[in-house]
Amino acid sequence: MHIAEICTSEATHCTRDETVQGAALMMRRYHVGDVIVVDQTEGTKVPVGILTDRDIVVSVIAPGLDPNSLQVGDIMTDDLLTARETDDVYETIERMRLRGIRRVPVVDAAGSLAGIVSADDLLEFLAEEMGELSRISPYQQAHERRARQ
């Protein structure tokens, strides 16, 4: 299965010159814990970083800095892991696990932001898969009963 089939297509995003305060307000407005930072060129929104609510707390609030005086580009994580829409779900899970990353921007063939996939999205997908697997035994037993009559 491709990652595009389970990712959230509406990823909250901003440019690196947005203030940290502005990004925090976006998180509040859209009820999300992260904002994808993009560079916009020729109609594409290329992911270049991510800012999480934790980044804001640790890098701005805890040291007592003014979130209006800092730009997202000043504190974003720029060592960004992305996934292509056509990437396999299980390969993406492995890449996330190896890097210890909970949220991954998803890009289309042109490298433009297409969505985001989170550990929660993947857990939901895996839970559904496990539910399907758990239904094998009853079907197998019913099949055996019919075959032996």
Residue-wise pLDDT tens digits, 53-82:
999 999 999 999 999 999 999 999 999 999
Look at residue 143 and tell me whether its pLDDT is greater than 70. no
Work out the number of other CB atoms within 10 angstroms of the CB of residue 16.
16
Coil, strand, or helix at residue 88?
strand
Of residues 140 and 42, more confidence is placed in 42
- Sign of the four-CA dihedral 6, 10, 15, 18: negative
Q: Structural domains in the chain?
A: 3-118 (3.10.580.10)
pLDDT at 133 over 90: no
pTM of the model: 0.84
